Structure 1
């Protein structure tokens, strides 16, 4: 075990938090999956879902391990080559997506031969964040003007978001917000960011108006967005209200200490209890203390990301940590906020805890890249420490040699004195 831990490079605190969240996830996922097992198989045996989640987590940690071994500057080129591939996948998903548990049909595609469903927007987000970080990390003497940056930076951003937006507004909004944050930290001019915000607002308004005017022209979920916002601000009962009400009942039932692991009642009534609304099940079973503990882990993870970004020795490394780390924490906060009705229903999972292969794996890719950045910083720090040790060792050798030379010189002086200055020697020499 110690040998295995020694092979894990990078920030050990990030490793520990990710591992703890993943280990904890087995209990609520196993508990919340019982209603799915009952509905599908009639037995209520959730072991199949537990084993499936175990496979997802094991593959996820294998991904983290392999990714964090790569030098993080490799991902500059990888993101540039992956963007066109991501656009093709997003377009295919938009028109040929599959239904998952009765949810929206244009978010997932089914991978041939292995039968695994994959949410392409999660991969697109990672590739886009890395691409934006690589663009903004260019030396200041090679910075493009606004017109050139519109083509090289913002055109890929808007193409990616346009392919996600019709099926998933919350993910598109989160991606756009994170890109703006990366550009702000990357010292992209504020006046240009303001222009981009205006372009984004006008484009979204135009898209909504076209979708309302021609509802059958192309696939979109504009009606769903509008109804969710209206339902969030009104008292009219809807399906989303049903989910929120069940989530709030679960949270209220948990109290301070919770009902205990596996003793949730609302998991039998709450749709998506093992994914989108798993936080409500956590609070019901583990109480306020459990909820605060989970929130504390995510906040600690955010703190470690800030530390890692501060320690990164390059602008690209800093932007990678910010662009890939902060969305994990922000997504977690959005998921929790939806469960307590601070936000409308968005469909965002709880990172590293909710069930689902693609969400777990994409989060693990992001964590792996962040660990690659911290690993490089550790290697640089280790090289500096080794260099200092070599300098200290060399200095000791030099000091020792100087002492020996001084001692030799002193002995020679004493010998010369004994030969030339000793009076007895002078008498002997005359005889």
Structure 2
């Protein structure tokens, strides 16, 4: 047992971190291991790799992700702000390098290879962007004379501009929604939130008019007969085949044909093999993580911690919701991973960084420490 009287960094972390939230996150990671084993072998076999290639890499990326998650959860809010600034600058640099040197795949440049590892820099940018935006909004609330809101707008435009240049409209919409949620949480006027939503809708309409693959996805969603809807049709069939309890582990049919069964459509594989019951359990687990974080954030007296933890929870929840909605044909297809369930090294490590900061920001801190955090906020 770890005694409360011990004054070590680990004991202080153990008694202040939200252990229930930590267990929920680890449970989600374990579910990802099981579903990777179920969904990835047929994909690897089809492209001539070892059947367990993607599963082995999924487990391999899980180790550094756990280290990042636990390590980041030890940080103080001030350390989180500083690390986020460094990570965001590095991510922006990698996005620029991707635009200049990354390979073009299906008309987009989203990946760059460093030291033999494929990196999607936009995934790394998201959690650090949330932290910086939350910091600026907290400064705007604390010191109205500071042009922090304008700076937050410039931060948004800088990231969105680079994402549109890739182009990656799925990540762009996700970033806009999270920034809008933070804008609202920070107490800004609702008319500005609606204005942001209108601007986002205008941007989407512009993309529909001038970007062929965006127009194609929307047209196929509105009228399936207008193009190739093989993947989403197979995903829907998987839900029908699985029923409530599923066909059983390894008995799925859709994964034998779905090119992205281990990434974008792993939720459909879960439905077919383990049933809608498991899908509802996963949905409940995601909802619990988001609501638990929002509840803890609401009780925080430090504005930055409250905004940042809430923004990270919204980012986590919206990303999961988008992936599940695509699988259920509720929205047009997007290349969005299901957090900790889908295969993807960049996604998993960046998600671990984000939820590690969620754990750090929702730790129980004495009021004197909170006051010290607020006092230091202007200098971080």
What residue is the counterpart of 1:372 in the other structure? 360
The residue number in structure 1 matching 2:373 is none
Secondary structure of the residue aligned to 1:46 is coil
Q: Secondary structure at the match of 1:73?
A: helix
Q: Are the structure 2 counterparts of residues 258 and 159 from structure 1 closer, same or farther at C-alpha, using a change threshold of 3 Å? A: same
5 Å-filtered alignment, 1:84-99, equals 84-98=89-103
Instruction: Give the Cα–Cα distance (whole angstroms) in 1 for the partners of residues 25 and 253 of structure 2.
Output: 28
- Tell me what 2:214 maps to: 225
Alignment pair present for 1:156 and 2:155? yes
Deviations 1:87-111 (A, max 9, x none): 3222222343236xx6664111112
Gaps of 5+ in 1: 213-221, 385-431
Deviation string, structure 1 residues 84-133 (Cα, Å, up to 9, x no partner): 4333222222343236xx6664111112x2x1111111112112111110
**The one of 264, 280, 300 aligned to 1:292:** 280
Shift of 1:307: 1.5
Deviations along 1:315-346, one digit per CA (max 9) or x if unpaired, are 11111111111211221111111111111101
Moved more, 83-92 or 225-234: 83-92
Separation (CA, whole Å) in 2 of partners of 1:305 and 1:319: 11
Deviation for aligned residue 1:235: 3.1
What's the Cα RMSD here? 2.7
> Is the counterpart of residue 62 in structure 1 residue 67 in structure 2?
yes
- Aligned-residue offset at 1:151: 4.2
1:168 matched to 2:175: no
Equivalence for 2:6: none
Structure-1 separation of matches of 2:28 and 2:107 = 28
- Secondary structure class of the residue paired with 2:244: coil
Whole-Å Cα distance in 1 between the matches of residues 19 and 253 of structure 2? 37
Q: Is the 8 A contact 2:92 2:121 kept in 1?
A: no
Residue aligning to 2:349? 361
- Label 1:84 to 1:61 Cα distance change in 2 as closer, same or farther (>3 A): closer
**Structure 2 residue aligned with 1:184:** 184
Distance 1:69 1:263, change over 3 A: same
Equivalence map 1:219-258=2 (5 Å): 222-236=211-225, 238-239=227-228, 241-258=229-246
Report SS of the residue matched to 2:47: helix
Q: 1:31 to 1:326 in 2, by over 3 A?
A: same
Q: How does 1:344-423 map to 2 (within 5 A)?
A: 344-375=332-363, 378-380=364-366
Among 32, 38, 41, the residue aligned to 1:31: 38
Q: Which of the numbers 1, 18, 25 marks the counterpart of 1:11?
A: 18
- From 296, 307, 318, the counterpart of 1:330: 318
Structure 1 residues 293 and 104: alpha-carbon distance in aligned structure 2, compared to 1, 3 A threshold: farther
Q: For each residue in 1:151-172, what CA deviation from the matched residue of structure 2 results, as whole angstroms up to 9, or x when unmatched? A: 4121121110011024211110
Question: Per the alignment, in what secondary structure is the counterpart of residue 33 of structure 1?
Answer: helix
| Partner of residue 303, structure 1 | 291
Provide the residue aligned with 2:119 in structure 1. 118
Whether the 8 Å contact between 1:305 and 1:326 is mirrored in structure 2 is no
SS of equivalent residue, structure 2 residue 366 = helix
Match of 1:109 in 2: 112
Does the C-alpha gap of structure 1 residues 80 and 41 become closer, same or farther in structure 2, counting only changes over 3 Å?
closer
- Contact 1:10–1:373 (Cα < 8 Å) also in 2: no
Q: Which moved more, 1:355-364 or 1:134-143?
A: 134-143
Compute the TM-score of the two structures, normalised by the length of structure 1. Answer: 0.77
Q: Structure 2: which 5+ residue stretches go unaligned?
A: 4-9, 371-380
1:40 to 2:26 alignment: no
Q: Deviations over 1:359-392 (max 9, x none)?
A: 11111101100111122xx2427999xxxxxxxx
Secondary structure of 2:224's match?
coil
How far does residue 311 in structure 1 lie from its aligned partner after superposition? Answer: 2.1
**1:346 & 1:105 partners in 2: Cα distance?**
13
